[in-house]
Every structure is written in C-alpha cells, then in structure tokens.
C-alpha cells in the first residue's frame, strides 16, 4: 500500500516543487548573482545550510505524517496500523534515502572535477554551469522517479535493478584510480559533432554569435556533458532509494534535497578529494548492500528489511571508508615529512 499516493497528495508535491524553485531563484538571483570563485568557507556554509534544510524538512515531514496517520480515517481503518511507528519509519526512510543519495553523489563530484578540468572552465564560472546542471538534473530525476514508481511494482524489475546495483558496486570496487581521459569519450565526440563550438570562453555565456553564426561555448558543452552523466548516475541512485522505500514522495523529496546541496559539496571537497582514497570502497559496498536488499534481504525479512538496520549499515560503510581514508592520508603525510 502506498501511504502518500500522488492523486491525494499532489498539492504536497506542488508545494515542495514551488519551494525548490524559490530556493533556486534566490540562489542564482541573489546569493550568486555575480560570478565569483566559491571559496571552501562559503561552500562549507552552504553545505551546512542545505543539510540543515533537509533535516528540518525531515522533522516537519515526520510531524505531518504523524498528524495524517492519527487523524485520517483511511489510515485508521487499516487493521493493525500503528500510526506512531509508521510516522517514525517514514522519517527514517527519508533520512536513509537522503544519506544514500548524498553518498552516491560523491561520484558526481569526481565527474565535475574531470569535466571542468577538460573544458578548462574557470572556477568563477563553475557555479553557473552547476546551477543549470542541477536544475536539469531535478527535472530528469522527477521523470525517473515517476517511471520508477510504476516499474518497481514488478518484482522481476526490482530483482533486475538490484542485480545491476550489485554488479555496479563490484565493478566500482575493483576499478582503478587512474585519471579519466575525456578526449576519447563517446559523449564528447558526439557533442563536438552536434554543435558548432567556439574555442574560447566568453564570460558566463553558453552561446555566442560571430559573423551571423551561433556557436556554443565550452561552458555549454560542460553543462550538456554533466546532464548526460547525471542521467547515467540516476540509473543507480533512483533504484537504490526505491530499495529503501516504496513511497514516491519520500524518494522524490530525499533525492531532490541531496541534489540541491551537490554544488556546494563539490566546491567544499573538490580540492581534497585525493585524500579520500578509500571512499570508493564505501560507495561500492553501499551499492552492493542496497542491491542485496532488492534481490534478497527484503524478501528474507518478510518483505521489508528493517529501516533502522539499513541506515546503520549505510552510515557504517560510508563512515568507515572516510575514517580509513583520513588515517591513511595522515600517515602518508607524516612519512613525507
């Protein structure tokens, strides 16, 4: 049973979407109206703001769910329905989905760094590219989530995506750490064939017109590549959250909140990502665990693996990989002295 069907809660979806658009408008139109290089301090503050907003929303969502579950006759009529327990589970599902998406977004950060380096995008213009990239990602994630809410009703598709997550995790676990070369990337070659490319960056412009001919700038190419990359990442991240909850509303809100803070997290971590050598093992382990939930664990536990255990396991896998990275990096720095 879906506790928050779209037909009954479409105003909640609309209100949340309006809130997101308002926040993005303030972000670009007020706080980042003028192009500038985002400092680590500024990025850290904004990262804290986005995470705080997600946690505040989580608490308000818990209060709202508890109120609906204890006052709506539809829920009260369900035999054995525990409103208190279900409200807590709902809040934990949002938090777990947010943690998963936030963790998997670290892979996006590596891609951001590689793409900006390849197209030689100055730091002062990177925020603009990421802003429009994130806006596009929100649209595509909404589409993927809407599709997933329908497709995930079929057990064989759940098993398929679960197996895909396991394979992706195993591949990530054994992948090398060499620098990615985009010059031979098929997406880059397609973009260069599809557009007339201006060789130089013209301020914040995505398009320039020279001698009556419209060209795209490297900023636009970087934007398109990031959008296409996010679509590929969504194939992993969206099914991963559906493994935690079957509620599209929770998948949508937790996913969107995680994406909103992706830009600031990039500027905060871009300069120190090389110090987190073992983070990929944590991410790979999370994908394998979530895949196992879809393929086996949920069924083994009567249709639903305990959400408290899921949150604890995911936090342990990511946390331990971060701690291991910090310990090894500090040991390396001491040896270099």
229-256 confidence digits (pLDDT tens): 888 788 778 888 898 998 999 999 999 9
pLDDT tens figures, 177-212: 555 566 667 777 787 788 888 878 888 888 888 888
Q: pTM value?
A: 0.86
DSSP 26-60: HIIIIITSS--PPPHHHHHHHHHHHHHHHHHHHHH
Q: What confidence tier does 103 reach under pLDDT thresholds 50, 70, 90? A: confident
pLDDT tens figures, 212-230: 888 888 888 889 888 888 8
Q: What angle is formed at CA 285 by the lines to CA 295 and CA 333, rounded to 5 degrees?
A: 175
Q: How many helices (H) and strands (E) does the chain have?
A: 13, 2
pLDDT tens figures, 254-275: 999 998 888 888 888 876 777 7
What is the percentage of the chain residues whose pLDDT exceeds 70? 94
- What's the chain's Rg over C-alpha atoms? 21
Average pLDDT, the chain: 86
Average pLDDT over residues 2-25: 90
Taking phi first (over 0 means left), then psi (-120 to 50 degrees means alpha), and beta for anything else, what does residue 120 get?
left
pLDDT of 27 > 80? The answer is no
CA distance 172 to 49: 31
Q: What confidence tier does 316 reach under pLDDT thresholds 50, 70, 90? A: very high
């Amino acid at each position: 049973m879906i506790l928050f069907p779209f037909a009954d809660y479409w105003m909640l979806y609309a209100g949340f979407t309006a809130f997101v658009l308002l926040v993005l408008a303030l972000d670009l139109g007020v706080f980042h109206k003028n192009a500038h290089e985002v400092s680590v301090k500024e990025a850290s503050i904004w990262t804290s703001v986005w995470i705080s907003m997600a946690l505040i929303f989580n608490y308000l969502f818990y209060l709202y769910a508890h109120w609906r579950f204890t006052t709506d006759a539809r829920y009260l009529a369900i035999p054995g329905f525990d409103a208190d327990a279900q409200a807590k589970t709902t809040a934990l599902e949002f938090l777990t989905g947010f943690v998963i998406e936030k963790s998997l977004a670290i892979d996006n950060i590596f891609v951001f760094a590689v793409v900006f380096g390849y197209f030689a995008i100055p730091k002062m213009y990177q925020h603009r590219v990421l802003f429009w990239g994130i806006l596009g990602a929100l649209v595509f994630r909404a589409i993927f989530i809407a599709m997933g809410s329908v497709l995930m009703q079929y057990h064989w598709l759940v098993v398929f995506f679960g197996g895909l997550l396991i394979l992706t995790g195993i591949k990530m676990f054994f992948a090398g750490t060499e620098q990615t070369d985009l010059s031979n990337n098929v997406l880059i070659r397609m973009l260069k064939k599809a557009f007339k490319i201006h060789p130089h960056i013209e301020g914040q412009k995505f398009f320039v017109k020279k001698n009556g001919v419209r060209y795209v700038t490297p900023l636009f190419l970087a934007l398109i590549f990031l959008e296409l990359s996010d679509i590929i990442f969504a194939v992993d991240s969206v099914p991963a959250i559906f493994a935690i909850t079957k509620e599209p509303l929770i998948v949508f809100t937790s996913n969107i909140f995680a994406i909103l803070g992706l830009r600031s997290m990039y500027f905060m971590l871009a300069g120190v990502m090389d110090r987190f050598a073992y983070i990929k093992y944590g991410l790979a382990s999370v994908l394998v665990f979530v895949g196992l939930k879809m393929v086996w664990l949920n069924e083994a536990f009567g249709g639903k693996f305990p959400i408290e255990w899921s949150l604890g396991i995911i936090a342990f896998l990511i946390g331990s990989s971060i701690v291991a990275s910090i310990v090894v990096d500090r040991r390396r720095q001491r040896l270099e002295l």
